[in-house]
Amino acid sequence: MTQFQNIPVYVVLLALAGSFSSAIGVFAWRRHTITGSKPLVLLAIAVAVWSFGYVLELVTNQFDTKLFWAKVQYFGIVTVALAWLGFALQVTARGQWLNRRTIPLLLISPIVILLLVWTNELHGLIWPNITLITDGLLPILDFDHGLGFWACIVYSYVGLLTGTVLLVLTFVRAPHLYRGQASILLLGVFPPWIGNALYISGLNPWSFIDLTPLGFALSCCAMAYGIFRYRLLDVVPIARDLVIEHMEDGVIVVDQHNRIVDLNTAAEQDLKHTASDLIGHAIDAAFARWPDVLERYLHKTEVAEEFITGVGREQRVFDLRISSLRDRRGRYNGRLVVWRDITERKRSEEALRLQNEELIALHAKLSMAKEAAETASRAKSTFLANMSHELRTPLTAILGYSQLLKIQIAKTHQTALIPDVAAIEDAGQHLLNLVTSVLDMSKIEAGKMELYLETFDVPLLVEQVIAIIQPLAKQNGNTLTVQCHNLPTSMYADMTKTRQILFNLLSNATKFTMQGLVTLSVDCELRNGQEWVIFSIADTGAGIAPDQMKHLFQEFTQVATQTPHVYGGTGLGLAISQRFCNMMGGEIIAVSTPGKGSTFTVCLPTTVPKPHTPLIPTEKVS
């Protein structure tokens, strides 16, 4: 018969421990998807079996009945170590250690121990001697402990110690992250050890009573609190790799209930709260500074956006990224919130944008100005072309009439008038040359100058040019020579323009050389598979200063200061010649040594292509 009237305090405590453990077992089972909950269910059941078995051992009177319940307790006792180890492995992210190969090995010892317990009468290996003590409030079984019992103790201690070391090490190594949780879990680790040490050492104030199940019941409570209250163990193993404590970005890890499980130093600084203030609390507390951010992103799982806080000088721009954290099976576990202050970058971007806009506006203005300048230039060229045309007509008339006058004067023998009429004719001719050059230049600039390509005889052309230039050369006491090394018989080009180029260059050579030598060399060369005619006009005259060479082919340029007075000229001859050469796909290269002479080399393709690609002239000074 049960002696309910004598139930001592520890029986009540044991019953409470059993009930608590059962409740935790049910609670944990309902959350069995959370890491660590399954071993916790096993631990809770084991502790409940142990506790209730112990209660029933204590409250029953019969020796056999008591022994039966003492044996039942061993189902719990051997399972506790196993469940404890399993719990420690799972929550420290070593769940994979429990597999098909390791579980059967781990089960060998408990099964052997259970067999020994239930067959103790045959060998006495667990309890060699059992006495029923009846002089206290309750009849109690006093056990002598045999080899099997100590084997069971060793097995249990190895399991418990391994689990305890794993838990303690893991949490001690991450002190910041687990500060709150470490203390709770460490609180849960020690009661069984204390209870067991008291029982084994005999220091227990209630002799014969094993306090270990009470210790384990307390552990179950602490473990359940640790994993279900904070969910820390669920989320952190996944997030750990992503969270870098010293990142400049603010980082927060929240669980699926929006409770903060971790944050880094940058986040602490930005949110103006310490980690210990925030961990375990709802995210609302953390983002109290930024209520609109909270409102906008509270329930979003994937975000990559910018948000702005503050106004005026206090305004800051942040780049926010929220990503969901999932376990290996893809179940949603929480969120990783990362933000970066990009205010400076935004300011630079804005400055760049403004600068760009200014540049675009400037470019538009410049384009308009260029357009206007081009229009003006075209208008000028058109005007000049028209004017030149208008001037040529009366000039031709002046020249014609002056020649007529010369004939009339010769007939009437008024020789005194001949020099005056010759002066009129010279001035008219000079003016006509000038007008012709201006007209040519205007046409080129207005894009109206056209090429008239034809096949012509090169030796004949050279002969004609020399015939015109010879008298000019003689005027200055120069000797004009022609050297033909490899004279091409014909070329396909604009003959008039080629003649004009040669005439311009040869007349310059004879004009700027006194008592010297002017040489025209003609050659034929192969360049890149194409045949070129090379006319080279060399003189031993004044030469051109190096700093004046770059202006040589610019229109209206007369590089020598004394040129207009001494030699006359328009400053258009070289510019027009270079343009003509370019139009035919060729170029003029000038080489000059002041005081020694100049060489102008005209390079033209033997067959001028259509359309041509103008080449850029190069100038050299030797």
Contacts to ligand ADP by CB under 6 A: 504, 508-509, 512, 539, 541-544, 552, 557-560, 563, 569-575, 598
Kindly state the smallest distance separating residue 464's Cβ from ligand ADP, in Å: 20
Pick the closer one to ligand ADP by CB: 35 or 598.
Answer: 598
Written as six digits, the tokens of 619 are 């100038």
Q: 280, 267, 106: which is closest to 183 by C-alpha?
A: 280
Do residues 494 and 608 lie in contact, with contact meaning Cβ atoms separated by under 8 Å?
Answer: yes
Question: Which residue number, 398 or 434, has a Cβ lying nearer to ligand ADP?
Answer: 434
CA–CA distance, 336 with 273 (Å, rounded to integer) = 18
The answer to whether 538 and 598 are in contact (CB under 8 A) is: yes
User: CA-CA distance, 554 to 572, in Å (whole number)?
Assistant: 8
Instruction: Report d(CA 251, CA 267) in Å as an integer.
Output: 6
CB of 406 to ligand ADP, least distance (A): 27
Q: Which is nearer to ligand ADP, 270 or 440 (CB)?
A: 440
Specify the residue, 204 or 563, whose C-beta has the smaller distance to ligand ADP: 563
CB of 400 to ligand ADP, least distance (A): 25
Q: Please state the closest distance from residue 507 (CB atom) to ligand ADP, in A.
A: 8
CB of 518 to ligand ADP, least distance (A): 9
* Whether the Cβ atoms of residue 130 and residue 208 lie closer than 8 Å to each other: no
136/564 with CB nearer ligand ADP:
564
- Distance in Å, CB of 367 to ligand ADP, minimum: 32
DSSP letter at 144? P
Closest by CA position to 516, among listed 539, 537, 482, 534: 539
CB of 556 to ligand ADP, least distance (A): 8
Question: Which of 28, 49, 52 is closest to 38 using CA atoms?
Answer: 28
Q: Which CB sits closer to ligand ADP, 462 or 538?
A: 538
Q: What angle do CA 181, 182, 184 make, to 5 degrees?
A: 65
> Using N-to-C axis directions, what is the helix angle for 418-445 and 573-583, rounded to 10°?
40
243 is written with which tokens?
A: 């969270």
Specify the 3-state DSSP secondary structure of 402. Answer: helix
Residue 133 neighbours by CB under 8 Å, 6+ apart: 139, 140, 141, 142, 208
Q: Distance between the two ends of the chain, CA-based, in angstroms?
A: 133
Pick from 504, 546, 544, 531: which is nearest to 586 by CA? 531
CB of 552 to ligand ADP, least distance (A): 6
How far apart are CB 571 and ligand ADP at their closest, in Å? Answer: 4
DSSP state of 229: I
Beta bridge pairs of residue 537: 520, 600
Concatenate the DSSP letters of all residues of 93-111 into one string: T-GGGSSTTHHHHHHHHHH
Closest CA to 616 of 587, 577, 573, 583: 587
Q: Which is nearer to ligand ADP, 188 or 573 (CB)?
A: 573
Strand order in the sheet with 619-621: 479-484, 517-527, 530-539, 597-605, 587-593, 619-621
**Residue 463 CB, nearest distance to ligand ADP (Å)?**
22
CB nearer ligand ADP, residue 37 or residue 558: 558
For ligand ADP, the closer of residues 542 and 603 by Cβ is 542
Which is nearer to ligand ADP, 273 or 511 (by Cβ)?
A: 511
Q: Which position has the token pair 């687990």?
A: 178
Q: Closest distance between ligand ADP and the C-beta of residue 348, in Å?
A: 53
Q: Which is nearer to ligand ADP, 401 or 503 (CB)?
A: 503
State the nearest-atom distance from the C-beta of 509 to ligand ADP, in Å: 5
CA dist 26 and 14 (Å) reads 18
Helices (H), 174-297: 175-201, 212-224, 232-239, 265-271, 275-278, 283-286, 291-297
Q: Looking at beta carbons only, is 15 or 509 nearer to ligand ADP?
A: 509
What is the rounded (10 degree) CA torsion for 108, 114, 118, 120? Answer: 80
Q: Which is nearer to ligand ADP, 162 or 548 (CB)?
A: 548
The per-residue b/e assignment along 538-549, b for 16 or more CB within 10 angstroms, e otherwise, is: bbbbbbbeeebb
CB of 510 to ligand ADP, least distance (A): 9
> Least distance (Å) from ligand ADP to the CB of residue 395?
18
Could you tell me how many residues make up the chain? 622
Judge contact between 498 and 462, C-beta under 8 A.
no
Nearer to ligand ADP by Cβ, of 343 and 521: the residue is 521
